[in-house]
């Protein structure tokens, strides 16, 4: 079984590297819940505004979020299509491993039936 969801290896690397950090996962959660401005996000964390901006930039490079200008603020919004592709990728890996487990179980059953 081949896992293919039309993402390049670099895209997959960026996606999971972005999700590997707890602050970025939290920013993504907040964006899913409706989005917040970068400055509002910065007030939530014990880090500088610039550090929060860097986290948002990593999420943007992975296409997990976009920023939309509202007046003077930039609102961080979720890119649901990328989240969907990430879920599809994880589902494909799950199917792959379940298929392999089934094959191992079949092999064990066949091998046990051949014992003298």
Does the residue 53 lie in any domain?
Answer: yes
C-beta of residue 56 within 8 angstroms of C-beta of residue 38 = yes
CB atoms within 10 A of CB 39: 13
Does the residue 86 lie in any domain?
Answer: yes
Confidence at 1, pLDDT banded by 50, 70, 90: very low
Q: Which CATH number belongs to the domain containing residue 37 in this structure?
A: 1.10.10.10
Whether residue 2 has pLDDT greater than 90:
no
How far apart CA 37 and CA 52 sit, in angstroms, is 11
How far apart CA 63 and CA 60 sit, in angstroms, is 5
Predicted pLDDT of residue 113: 65
Does the residue 59 lie in any domain?
Answer: yes
Confidence at 4, pLDDT banded by 50, 70, 90: low
Does the residue 26 lie in any domain?
Answer: yes
Q: In this predicted model, what pLDDT tens digit does every residue of 92-115 receive, in sequence order?
A: 889 999 999 989 988 888 877 666
Does the residue 3 lie in any domain?
Answer: no
Q: In this predicted model, what pLDDT tens digit does every residue of 63-80 receive, in sequence order?
A: 999 999 989 999 999 999
Whether residue 7 has pLDDT greater than 80:
no
Predicted pLDDT of residue 107: 87
Q: In this predicted model, what pLDDT tens digit does every residue of 31-51 receive, in sequence order?
A: 999 889 999 999 999 999 999
91 is in which domain, residue-wise? 9-113
Q: Name 58's bridge partners.
A: none
Does the residue 2 lie in any domain?
Answer: no
Predicted pLDDT of residue 106: 87
The total of structural domains in the chain comes to 1
Does the residue 4 lie in any domain?
Answer: no
Does the residue 35 lie in any domain?
Answer: yes
């Amino acid at each position: 079984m081949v896992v293919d969801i039309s993402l390049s290896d670099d895209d997959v690397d960026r996606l999971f590297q972005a999700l590997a950090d707890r602050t970025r996962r939290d920013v993504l959660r907040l964006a899913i819940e409706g989005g917040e401005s970068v400055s509002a996000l910065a007030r939530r964390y014990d880090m500088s505004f610039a550090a929060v901006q860097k986290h948002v930039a990593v999420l943007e490079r992975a296409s997990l979020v976009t920023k939309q200008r509202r007046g003077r603020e930039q609102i961080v919004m979720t890119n649901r299509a990328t989240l969907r592709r990430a879920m599809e990728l994880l589902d494909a890996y799950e199917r792959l491993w379940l298929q392999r487990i089934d094959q191992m179980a079949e092999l064990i059953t066949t091998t046990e039936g051949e014992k003298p």
